[in-house]
Amino acid sequence: MRRNCRRSLARAAVAACSLSLLAALAPSAWAHGNHHEPYKRVGYFTQWGVYGRDFQVKDMDTSGQAAKLTHINYAFGNVSSNGTCFTGNVPGEADAWADYARPLDAADSVDGVADTAEQPLAGNFNQLRELKAKHPGLKVLISLGGWSWSTHFSDAARTPASRKAFVSSCIDLYIKGNLPVDGSRGGAGAAAGLFDGVDLDWEWPGSAGDTDTVYRPEDKQNFTALVHEFRTQLDAYATSQRGKRKHYELSAFVPTAPAKIDAGFEVRKIMCDLDFVNLQGYDFHVSGEKTTAQQSALYARGDFSVDQTVREWLRRGAPARKLVMGMPFYGQGWTGVTGGGDGLGQPATAPAPATWAAGYEDYKALKKLAESGTYTLHRDRRNGHAWLFDGTTLWTYDDPQVLRTKTSYIRERGLGGAMFWSLDGDTADGELMTTVDRGLSRR
């Protein structure tokens, strides 16, 4: 089992953190030939996607995604105003019905067997358990927070006592699986063994996020302490499980903007306790802006880009092998675009109409637009991004050709792998997932 970094400083952690620093300063040392760990393929599964989108856990299996993933991040778990992990049936705040109470029929079940009224675990959690049984080695992490549910992270992380209580509540609910009773569902240990770790999606410590999200200058140090508290308690719980020798993984979703990195992250310190971080590799520009722009370019001079994000984290001391590149399975779009040309860098009047939310469209829908003949597909091959434009509406997104370029970058730079937001945006046959898997599997 992995030892806690701080506890071993007197002996081996100095060498370990020095190795991380060497990787940061000379990432070429982690090129594919010296990359001994398998590349991570981390996909976010959205709790709410089972409704309107009708993207069920089983769809990760039938699409072929599950066979290619190493991790599924379940989005999201929420943090209460009391600073604890919680679930329940609270509109806009928690959905225990989707998590573990909703019965599924045989057609929507991974194992082809309908849920019964008596079983204590149903819903997404039970299906994820079945998916793991079918794909041994697949890990499931509970992802805490996200853009909308980071509201109370700063309060929960504010003091040693609040951090200890917060982490303990998350481990009790998700790692130990002690779910609130909901009719015949839930109870002590109902979800035990389902989650293999925790993903921290605090957006953002030390700087502004959603309109109601609290942030403070001291969040930067408190985030470091929170990460350490999670590492300490996860390791302690693993040790208490005699004979299992399990390592509970700990990851975080982290930003691209240098100002946000510096406001909220003591990079070298948190990397001692985190197994890896998922880099924001998208939303560099969004449809709420008044000018069209790329949202996920690999390179972009004088602008946000994937390469810039990687370099910012390496420069601050992150080891390349712990950096997992975020990739979008969706696009950002604008309408009312004027100025002619290929549409990029031009004024726009509004987010583009879309299936679920204006300005945001799944790859599978954008693929159909690209094949419709009404849009022209444009590429910046040098900088690694693509967009669609019909003279009025523009969509910037990643297609398989872009993702092949990005997977080559991961291998050449010795990064830890790829992350995807979110799996429900892919095609029914998992086209994007397959593209990335093939790119990372090349020898």
Nearest to 177 by CA among 217, 129, 137, 212: 129
Could you list the active site residues? Answer: 203
DSSP letter string, 312-353: HHHHTT--GGGEEEEEESEEEEEES--S-TTSTT-B-SEEPP
Cα–Cα distance for residue pair 48/253, rounded to 1 Å: 20
Cα–Cα distance for residue pair 112/151, rounded to 1 Å: 39
What the block records as the tokens of 94 is 């928690």
Cα–Cα distance for residue pair 258/25, rounded to 1 Å: 17
What the block records as the tokens of 386 is 């693509």
Say which residues have a Cβ less than 8 Å from residue 167's Cβ, sequence separation at least 6: 226, 229, 230, 233
How many CA atoms, within 13 angstroms, populate the side-chain half-sphere of residue 257?
14
Backbone angles phi, psi at 226, to 5 degrees: -65, -45
